[in-house]
Amino acid sequence: MFSKKSFVRAAVATVSVVALAFSAACGSSTSSNNSGSDANSSASSSDITQQTVKPGKLTIATGDPAYEPWVMNDKPESGEGFEAALAYDVAEKLGFDKSDVVWTRTTFDSAIAPGAKDWDLNIQQFGITDERKQAVDFSSGYYKDTQSVVVKKDGKFASAKSLADLKDAVIGVMVGTQAYTIVKDKIKDDIQTFNDDAALGQALDAGQIDALVTNTVESVYMVQSEQVKDAKVLGRIAGSEDKDGLGIVLPKDSKLTAAVTKAVDDLNADGTIKQLQDKWLAEYTTDLTELK
């Protein structure tokens, strides 16, 4: 990233044989120094660890807060949780040690908005879409999630058996997410939006909405953790699997995009991502009713 300037020394020739020999020696040394500088400059420009917002460090953003099981205990630096663990595996593929990873926090919306970023990667369940690609870059997908419906156990839609049964429900989703697209496509147009899953859960808990829709993993976690009290996962929405999957977000035209994509592809190919899914996500995605 930082090219080294070559400094050329001008040697003054004299008629003295000794002076000519000295001048020749200086010329030889200067040529050698220039060659080394060019090589170092080339190496620097191809070193991915020097292409980051803080050279030598990899700044990774996630949500505030970050939810389980993507990040355990809201501590991405621990490497515990599916996305936290994946982030460190990607960092290693890029040539960064764990100690070189710096975590920061952003909102979901700001991460995929146009403009300059103060981070290198952002990982917080971003679905890959053509619209978002106009503002940011994506890695290839690392997980294909589905969308599920959460309701209160004593709510008036607790016994719903199909998507048609929810057409009169007040449904909430997190703004800018795949859930909005799925609800609009499969249930109804009139949708309440919220800034994050915490606000979404609070709205259901307070009776402001009848049901919420979010990714299946988060739906199960909300219920298990009692983020929404006395709630249940009504079911997984049929046909809601994200065909492109979740991807790591990078600033538009980032110099890291190709390398990060290759890292994710390699981790998919060698089975690492499947192992992480089995470890962190399996209990959240099985044995759910399918809503059609």
Mean pLDDT of all residues in 198-208? 95
pLDDT for residue 283: 87
Q: Are 179 and 214 in contact (CB under 8 A)?
A: yes
Q: Could you tell me if 165 and 189 lie in one domain?
A: yes
Mean pLDDT of all residues in 183-194? 97
Average pLDDT of the chain is 87
Indicate the residue among 220, 237, 254 that finishes a domain: 237
What digits encode the pLDDT tens for the residues 9-25? Answer: 333 333 333 333 333 34
Q: Could you tell me if 128 and 60 lie in one domain?
A: yes
What is the count of structural domains for the chain?
2
Q: Could you tell me if 183 and 233 lie in one domain?
A: yes
CA distances from 147 to 85, 132, 181, 217 (A): 23, 19, 10, 8
Structural domain includes residue 37: no
Claim: this prediction has a pTM higher than 0.95: no
Q: Could you tell me if 90 and 111 lie in one domain?
A: yes
Mean pLDDT of all residues in 155-176? 96
Q: Could you tell me if 265 and 130 lie in one domain?
A: yes
Q: Using CA atoms of 173, 177, 181, 183 in order, give the dihedral in degrees to the nearest 10.
A: -20
Q: Could you tell me if 132 and 172 lie in one domain?
A: no
What digits encode the pLDDT tens for the residues 217-230? Answer: 999 999 999 989 99
Q: Are 53 and 116 in contact (CB under 8 A)?
A: no
pLDDT for residue 44: 52
What digits encode the pLDDT tens for the residues 75-116? Answer: 999 999 999 999 999 999 999 999 999 999 999 999 999 999
Q: What's the CA gap between 250 and 126, in Å, rounded?
A: 11
What digits encode the pLDDT tens for the residues 255-289? Answer: 999 999 999 999 999 999 999 999 999 888 877 99
**CA 91 to chain CA mean position, Å:** 12
Structural domain boundaries enclosing 168: 147-237
